[in-house]
């Protein structure tokens, strides 16, 4: 038998720590998964051919062959010696276990680079050309040219652990014995590669080309797609449920048949190819409830030409105009035309993602045949069986995310394929990108455009989806720059996108369409310039089409503006509304302001009449609270439940929640958010009978053309911290004063442009406005450095690649994930929401806060915290477990350490954490 059978590839399966799987077999497992996926979903071959310029027939063999090479680095002594007992068993060699800082993905890539370089050892001369899936082109093309072409492709399959492999010189101790005699491990790695090429058939990718640079550019772009495909195939191929560990030796041809049969079951079990998109049969089939009176925007979405190739659609209309339904109409049309297989709906916040869940889940059977995978990101309380993608249930190996049975031996790896799949795909934030229908926050999609671990898999998951991004205007400069890159990447991969906004400035629409066009390689495409509103913009196929749309019936309205100059006046207005039987909402700009207003109104109206709703609740409590707010103030609520009730909220209510209040008071905020908040004021015309006329009431400093430097001081100081550009707030106040009313939708576009297309600012506010502008430019610069370089290919080339926890999709203050635990009366500590499904305890018991509020656990209770952390799915530097004990007032308290900037120096400060399901989390500085 060939010597490449003398190497182990997987070891230590649950229940049998002595079991192992031969490396040659695992390599073929992954190749078999790739072959099966390409067979099941031929559109993958189409997309790879479109990106690379190679033929489908050659790719059908070349892709599985490359996957068979993904673990070449495991032939190294450095990896094998992690299990010295298996080396002795397989090779008869007796060596001590060793450790190394180089992962087997990088070891394999270094070996390949050495084969392809000019300094190849004599015994391996010519090996590189023998292993490449090419027929040498005619003309002056040699080893260096082919290495130039194929480098990123090989990096994609060999660097299959989520990041491009590091380049450099292969250490002499790894694949050792190069002085004088060739190392056996190098020969065996080459021997296996040759055997795999003979077995699978590599295809002839490059059969002739006189433009090496153009060919290399296509291959580099394709390498991102291939890297995501390789990661996915490796994870499925690491399933011990379907690929049983095999240590007995058989002919490679015989095991290939075993692997192909196992791959059929593994792909079936993955849930990735179990359904297909239904054709679009009309608005009445998809949305019967609007069929008799679809909005003009929905009609336009059903009729606009789809063109050819990837398309970008931008839908601009007011809140409540039916943009979501219009987007889904477009998405189904694109899927029905064979341009996509699924949808990812990206929302700005967890609350908006939860709200979208209820709207799209009933559409599963209308959008797809078969058993589609549907996943809601974040909403732990609603994760029912049909909401989970099978591959991520417990990971391919059937283990829990902390490992429990995944392979635990590696060489410099932080995680192996089995462990990675178990942890990564078990996390709904990520697997939503692989489901046919995913709903989640925009952050998970933006990570696909950042130099973050598994970015390539995210891109692969999205590339056959229609990407729908709601509330695009909510992106700051940093997020907008990343979104532009994501649209470029998505277009380059052949994907279509739909952007929704009520208040998108023209300049942002231009930037987003330009980014999409750049991904298509289209230059000189027309620039959007229409100022009509509502508006549907379609970009792609070398053109931009802008279609003015009539407003929806009942949407046009005029809302007068009234002003409150003091917090006391605003509070009195809300109290008066409640006592007259009206329901009211007061949107405050900070959690601290919301807490103070809540305490004040509870003193006036009683606890039963006031609800506090902000982002600083444990997830389980926040989901419950959110549902209570929607039930009480949503479309299905009745007057008895609404009457006299007041909500004190932060920004969590301003987007995508279908809630309706008789009276709305809002702190001053940017004009686009003013329009959003007005969308929650008397939203449902069916309730207008008996209501007082709608008036938007704004709490703001006294208006002045020449305000004092402290215009945003005193009671507005926290507003100035949340919205750091006083110029935007001052121009918003100016627009509202000059107009004295909101005329919607007719004047919405002009009001937004008057604020964001202007740089007018009083001299007294200019210093802070300039500082905010500088910060915005810096954010865009940071984003530019963090995004993927598509044309560079899947290569390090000096770029920093970070883990997901360290690559932010949003800038701002550093944050900490606080996991709340409670000490029961029986002395037993548990997660705060331990009354819910066990595997979700900690996800539903955590809340994110600024690091300046909570940075680390306080001394004490060390053994209790460690025992609690042992039950948590992930524990890192940015997570803190805080143990709470119940006080005599019924509230729960614990302690922590915060980081405060004092005198230019960051100092540790003891803080007290107070928590209750009514008020959320509060932090007070200790003694």
Q: Which of 200-209, 221-230, 701-710 has the lowest mean pLDDT?
A: 200-209
**Confidence label for 297 from pLDDT (cuts 50, 70 and 90):** very high
Tell which residue, 1, 64, 58, has the closest CA to residue 32: 64
Kind of pairing, strands 646-649 and 584-587? parallel
What is the predicted pLDDT for the residue at 907?
A: 86
Distance CA 187, CA 192 (A): 9
Q: Average pLDDT, stretch 297-309?
A: 95
- Is the pLDDT assigned to residue 375 strictly greater than 80? no
770-790 pLDDT tens trace: 999 998 888 888 888 889 999
What is the predicted pLDDT for the residue at 387?
A: 37
845-883 pLDDT tens trace: 999 898 889 999 999 999 999 999 998 877 777 899 999
Q: Average pLDDT, stretch 807-812?
A: 68
24-51 pLDDT tens trace: 999 999 999 999 999 999 999 999 999 9
Residue position matching structure tokens 């302001």: 593
What is the predicted pLDDT for the residue at 143?
A: 60
Tell which residue, 218, 259, 257, has the closest CA to residue 67: 259
- Is the pLDDT assigned to residue 540 strictly greater than 70? yes
661-680 pLDDT tens trace: 999 999 999 999 999 999 99
What is the predicted pLDDT for the residue at 412?
A: 37
- Is the pLDDT assigned to residue 382 strictly greater than 80? no
Tell which residue, 740, 731, 788, has the closest CA to residue 760: 731
What is the predicted pLDDT for the residue at 397?
A: 31
Give the angle subtended at the CA of 122 by the CAs of 117 and 123, to the nearest 5°.
110
Distance CA 530, CA 224 (A): 36
The DSSP-derived string for 207-262 is S--S-HHHHHHHHHHHHHHHHHHHHHHHHHHT-TTTS----S---HHHHHHHHHHH
3-state secondary structure of 598: helix
The pair of structure tokens assigned to 592 is: 């601290």
What is the predicted pLDDT for the residue at 807?
A: 61
Q: Comparing 336 with 812, which gets the higher pLDDT?
A: 336
Q: Average pLDDT, stretch 613-640?
A: 90
Distance CA 272, CA 671 (A): 43
Percent of the chain beyond pLDDT 90? 58
Q: Which of 124-128, 561-565, 717-721 has the lowest mean pLDDT?
A: 124-128
Distance CA 196, CA 253 (A): 10
What is the predicted pLDDT for the residue at 705?
A: 96
- Is the pLDDT assigned to residue 357 strictly greater than 90? no
Q: Comparing 17 with 222, which gets the higher pLDDT?
A: 222
What spatial distance separates the first Cα and last Cα of the chain, rounded to whole Å? 74
What is the predicted pLDDT for the residue at 803?
A: 62
**Confidence label for 150 from pLDDT (cuts 50, 70 and 90):** confident
- Is the pLDDT assigned to residue 639 strictly greater than 90? no
Q: What's the mean pLDDT when you consider all of the chain?
A: 86
Q: Average pLDDT, stretch 294-323?
A: 94
Kindly report the length of the chain.
927
For residue 308, give every residue at least 6 positions away whose Cβ sits within 8 Å of its Cβ, in sequence order, or none.
541
The pair of structure tokens assigned to 914 is: 């107070």
Q: Comparing 320 with 227, which gets the higher pLDDT?
A: 227
Exposed (0-12), middle (13-18) or buried (19+): which is 687, by Cβ within 10 Å? middle
What is the predicted pLDDT for the residue at 177?
A: 45
What is the predicted pLDDT for the residue at 378?
A: 47
370: number of Cβ within 10 Å? 11
Distance CA 405, CA 389 (A): 21
- Give the CA distances from residue 308 to residues 23, 330, 544, in Å, rounded to whole numbers and listed in that order: 45, 14, 13
- Is the pLDDT assigned to residue 370 strictly greater than 90? no
- Is the pLDDT assigned to residue 377 strictly greater than 70? no
- Is the pLDDT assigned to residue 379 strictly greater than 70? no
Distance CA 922, CA 912 (A): 8
What is the predicted pLDDT for the residue at 815?
A: 83
Q: Phi-psi category of 316—alpha, beta or left, where left has phi over 0 and alpha has psi -120 to 50? A: beta
388-434 pLDDT tens trace: 333 333 333 333 233 322 332 233 333 444 433 333 344 445 566 78
For residue 361, give every residue at least 6 positions away whose Cβ sits within 8 Å of its Cβ, in sequence order, or none.
374, 376, 387
Query: Which residues on adjacent β-strands are paired with residue 368?
Result: 277
What is the predicted pLDDT for the residue at 389?
A: 35
**Confidence label for 739 from pLDDT (cuts 50, 70 and 90):** very high
Residue position matching structure tokens 């002839």: 204
- Is the pLDDT assigned to residue 691 strictly greater than 90? no
- Give the CA distances from residue 513 to residues 343, 379, 537, in Å, rounded to whole numbers and listed in that order: 20, 32, 9
What is the predicted pLDDT for the residue at 44?
A: 93
What is the predicted pLDDT for the residue at 116?
A: 78
What is the predicted pLDDT for the residue at 872?
A: 87
Distance CA 270, CA 268 (A): 6
431-466 pLDDT tens trace: 667 888 888 889 889 989 999 888 999 999 999 999
Q: Is the peptide bond before 534 cis (omega within 30 degrees of 0)?
A: yes
Q: Are 413 and 770 in contact (CB under 8 A)?
A: no
Q: Are 584 and 577 in contact (CB under 8 A)?
A: yes
- Is the pLDDT assigned to residue 317 strictly greater than 90? yes
Distance CA 909, CA 927 (A): 9
3-state helix, strand, coil in the chain (%, to 5): 45, 15, 35
Distance CA 772, CA 795 (A): 35
> What are the E-state strand segments in 292-409?
312-316, 342-347, 368-370, 374-376
């Amino acid at each position: 038998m060939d010597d490449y059978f003398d190497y182990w590839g997987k070891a230590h399966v649950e229940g049998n720590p002595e079991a192992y799987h031969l490396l040659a077999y695992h390599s073929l497992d992954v190749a078999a998964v790739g072959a099966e996926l390409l067979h099941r979903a031929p559109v993958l071959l189409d997309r790879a051919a479109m990106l690379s310029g190679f033929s489908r027939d050659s790719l059908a063999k070349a892709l599985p062959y490359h996957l068979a090479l993904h673990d070449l680095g495991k032939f190294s002594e450095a990896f094998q010696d992690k299990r010295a007992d298996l080396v002795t068993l397989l090779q008869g060699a007796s060596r001590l276990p060793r450790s190394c800082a180089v992962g087997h993905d990088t070891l394999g890539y270094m070996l390949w680079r050495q084969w392809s370089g000019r300094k190849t050892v004599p015994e391996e001369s010519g090996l590189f050309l023998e292993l490449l899936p090419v027929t040498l082109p005619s003309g002056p093309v040699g080893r260096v040219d082919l290495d130039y072409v194929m480098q990123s492709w090989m990096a994609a399959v060999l660097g299959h652990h989520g990041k491009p492999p590091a380049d450099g010189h292969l250490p002499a101790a790894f694949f050792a014995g190069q002085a004088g005699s060739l190392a056996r491990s190098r020969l065996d790695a080459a021997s296996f590669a040759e055997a795999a090429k003979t077995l699978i058939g590599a295809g002839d990718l490059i059969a002739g080309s006189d433009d090496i640079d153009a060919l290399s550019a296509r291959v580099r772009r394709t390498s991102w797609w291939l890297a995501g495909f390789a990661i996915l195939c490796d994870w499925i191929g690491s399933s011990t449920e379907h690929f049983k560990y095999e240590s007995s030796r058989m002919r490679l041809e015989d095991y290939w048949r075993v692997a192909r049969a196992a791959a059929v079951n593994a792909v079936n079990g993955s849930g990735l190819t179990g359904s297909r998109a239904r054709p679009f049969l009309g608005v009445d089939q998809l949305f019967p409830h609007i069929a008799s009176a679809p909005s003009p925007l929905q009609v336009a979405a059903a009729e606009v030409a789809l063109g050819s190739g990837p398309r970008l659609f931008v839908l601009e209309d007011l809140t409540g105009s039916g943009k979501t339904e219009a987007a889904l109409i477009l998405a189904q049309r694109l899927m029905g035309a064979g341009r996509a297989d699924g949808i990812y709906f990206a929302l700005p916040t967890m609350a908006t993602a939860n709200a979208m869940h209820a709207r799209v889940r009933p559409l599963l059977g209308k959008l797809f045949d078969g058993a589609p995978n549907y996943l809601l990101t974040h909403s732990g309380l609603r994760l029912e069986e049909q909401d989970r993608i099978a591959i991520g249930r417990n990971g391919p190996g059937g283990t829990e995310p902390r490992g429990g049975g995944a392979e635990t031996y590696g060489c410099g790896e932080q995680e192996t394929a089995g462990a990675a799949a178990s942890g990564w795909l078990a996390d709904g934030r990520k697997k939503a990108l692989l489901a046919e229908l995913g709903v989640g926050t925009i952050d998970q999609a933006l990570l696909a455009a950042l130099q973050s671990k598994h970015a390539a898999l995210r891109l692969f998951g999205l590339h056959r989806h229609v990407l729908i991004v709601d509330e695009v205007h909510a992106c700051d400069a940093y997020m907008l720059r990343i979104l532009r890159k994501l649209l470029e990447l998505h277009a380059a991969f052949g994907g279509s996108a739909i952007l929704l906004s009520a208040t998108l400035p023209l300049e942002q629409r231009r930037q987003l369409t330009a980014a999409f066009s750049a991904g298509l390689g289209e230059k000189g495409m027309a620039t959007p310039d229409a100022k009509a509103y509502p508006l549907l913009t379609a970009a792609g196929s070398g053109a931009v089409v802008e279609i003015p749309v009539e407003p929806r019936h009942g949407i046009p309205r005029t809302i007068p503006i009234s002003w409150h100059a003091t917090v006391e006046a605003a509070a009195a207005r809300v109290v008066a509304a409640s006592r007259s039987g009206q329901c009211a909402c007061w949107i405050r700009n900070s959690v601290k302001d919301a807490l103070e207003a809540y305490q004040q109104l509870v003193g006036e109206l009683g606890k039963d009449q006031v609800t506090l709703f902000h982002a600083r609740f444990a997830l389980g409590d926040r989901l419950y609270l959110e549902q209570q707010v929607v039930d009480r103030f949503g479309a299905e609520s009745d007057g008895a439940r609404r009457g006299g009730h007041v909500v004190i909220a932060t920004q969590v209510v301003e987007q995508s929640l279908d809630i309706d209040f008789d009276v709305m008071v809002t702190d001053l905020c940017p004009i686009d958010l003013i329009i959003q908040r007005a969308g929650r004021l008397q939203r449902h015309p069916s309730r207008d009978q008996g209501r007082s006329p709608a008036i938007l009431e704004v709490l703001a400093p006294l208006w002045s053309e020449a305000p004092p430097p402290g215009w945003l001081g005193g009671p507005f100081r926290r507003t100035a911290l949340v919205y750091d550009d006083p110029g935007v707030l001052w121009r918003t106040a100016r627009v509202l004063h000059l107009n004295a009313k909101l005329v919607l939708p007719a004047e919405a576009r002009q009001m937004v442009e008057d604020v964001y297309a202007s740089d007018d600012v009083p001299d007294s506010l200019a210093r802070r406005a300039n500082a905010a502008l500088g910060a915005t430019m810096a954010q865009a610069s940071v984003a530019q450095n963090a995004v993927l370089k598509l044309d560079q290919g899947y290569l390090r080339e000096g770029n920093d690649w970070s883990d997901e926890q360290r690559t932010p999709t949003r800038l701002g203050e550093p944050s900490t994930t606080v996991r709340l635990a409670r000490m029961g009366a029986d002395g037993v500590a548990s997660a705060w929401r331990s009354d819910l499904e066990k595997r979700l305890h900690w996800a539903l018991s955590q809340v994110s806060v600024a690091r300046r509020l909570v940075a680390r656990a306080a001394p004490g209770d060390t053994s209790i915290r460690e025992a609690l952390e042992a039950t948590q799915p992930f524990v890192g530097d940015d997570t803190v477990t805080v143990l709470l004990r119940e006080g005599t007032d019924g509230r729960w308290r614990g302690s922590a350490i915060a980081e405060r900037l004092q005198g230019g120096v960051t100092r540790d400060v003891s803080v007290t954490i107070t928590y209750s399901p009514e008020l959320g989390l509060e932090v007070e500085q200790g003694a």
